[in-house]
Amino acid sequence: MVLRRSQNTSCNIISHTPSVIALLERIQQSHVLCEQKEKLYHLKYKCIFLLLLIPILCFLKCHTRIYNAWVGPFHLNLDSFIEHWKIYSGDLEIERSFLVGLFSFDKEYLQIELGENQIDNDTYNMYFVYFRHPMYNQLLYTFNPIKESSITNLSKKLFVKLPTYLTSHFHKRLPYRFEQFNSNTLKCIIRQLDISSEVDNIKLMKSMHIKIIEEIYDQNATEFNMKVINQCGILLGYLYDCQNEIVFSPSSNQRYKFSDFVAAFDASSSYSPYMSYLFGGLFYELEQLRQRQEAIRTREEQRRYRLALFIEEEERIQRLNQEVDFEQIWNRVPSASPRFIANFRLEDPKIVNSQLCETNCSICLETLQPDEHYSQWPCPAQHVFHYNCMLNVLRRQNSCPLCRHLVEAAPLPSLDVVWRNFLFRVASRVAN
């Protein structure tokens, strides 16, 4: 401001000599340069902050949590799960540089596809978790071994912890990513759900298989979990060391403690690390907000588009009316403005309810019937008319038929213009 004021004053005093103008331009340029430098300085610190933040977020494995919360569990088929299990059990060492380890996904929450009949359901090989004690006879979880030899032959033994009917997890609709399963697993699921004949006949595509499976799963999650999970070997969960579990062996009702050479895949509870909630929730909320704003914007655009269409239509109707209805112009009775009528048409008409059934529409003099459309004049008394009756009145006059309350008027053409147009039309008809 000071600079500009000084420029103005100097310009007034010195009558625009070229050297003064050049000097002022140089001052102006240096001022702009200073501003740019300041902006760059701030931008540099923002970039440094971001660069520091990304490794911290990666160190906290936020990207893995976001993936789990957003996409779901990491899918592993039998082969890739065997590799994963080898690494977990220590039979396979993988050398990863610090940077690769920092940015790669930490596959904890898994969807594993063991295949049909891979889970051992022989009670003599299983371990049990009871509510309090076996004497209450309330079995909560079972630890089942896996039959696949390439899993059992490793240095650690793997069990699958499965929920029973008494746990809430057994009845949950789990977030399976069915599109990741191979055709054998999908066929197994279809067989277990007893929809095989229908599907074989129609020879549906994989996507259709999945659609049917998901529909059935949505309808009855308990039945699906009971029939499919164990039989087809599809598990959702995570690997953990299960030495702290209080289990009972099948042969006796004695407590049993797993050795250090045992681990389990917990398919009996939801995997929900706090980070998933934090970041997944945050991203979910942001996405919801974005979608809501998008929907509002689309609605606004549609409304604007329809409003413009209605205004155009009403202007056309008014032009046609003015050509034939001389009485209205002669009496200087303006109709409601095209914009007002367009806005009126944009609002959804109200439906007559039982309270309004006895009301008379003073335009057509008929009683309002249930389920008919009605509207109210924006007058203090809010007089009620049929929707179509009110629309017709608005196209002829801008005052309430009952209380003369005025709404925005359309401009009336002058009588001169109307006469000139009328005479021109008559003359052209005579000429034809």
List contacts with Zn ion (CB under 5 A): 361, 363-364, 377, 379, 383, 386, 389, 400, 402-403, 405
Q: Smaller CB distance to Zn ion: residue 102 or 379?
A: 379
Q: Could you tell me where the DSSP H helices lie in 233-325?
A: 274-275, 281-324
Q: What DSSP string describes 187-247?
A: HHHHHHTT-HHHHHHHT--HHHHHHHHHHHHHH-HHHHIIIIIHHHTEEEEEEEE-TT--E
- CA dist 267 and 175 (Å) reads 12
Q: Smaller CB distance to Zn ion: residue 61 or 386?
A: 386
Q: Smaller CB distance to Zn ion: residue 225 or 335?
A: 335
- CA dist 89 and 208 (Å) reads 38
Token pair for residue 121? 């359901």
Instruction: Tell me the closest approach of the beta carbon of residue 354 to Zn ion, in angstroms.
Output: 19
Instruction: Tell me the closest approach of the beta carbon of residue 385 to Zn ion, in angstroms.
Output: 6
Q: What are phi and psi of 137, to 5 degrees?
A: 60, 35
- CA dist 380 and 382 (Å) reads 5
Instruction: Tell me the closest approach of the beta carbon of residue 46 to Zn ion, in angstroms.
Output: 60
Enumerate the β-bridge partners of residue 350. Answer: 374
Instruction: Tell me the closest approach of the beta carbon of residue 313 to Zn ion, in angstroms.
Output: 22
- CA dist 279 and 70 (Å) reads 10
Instruction: Tell me the closest approach of the beta carbon of residue 208 to Zn ion, in angstroms.
Output: 52
- CA dist 372 and 345 (Å) reads 16
Q: Smaller CB distance to Zn ion: residue 329 or 390?
A: 390
Instruction: Tell me the closest approach of the beta carbon of residue 412 to Zn ion, in angstroms.
Output: 22
For β-strands 384-386 and 74-77, DSSP reports them as: unpaired
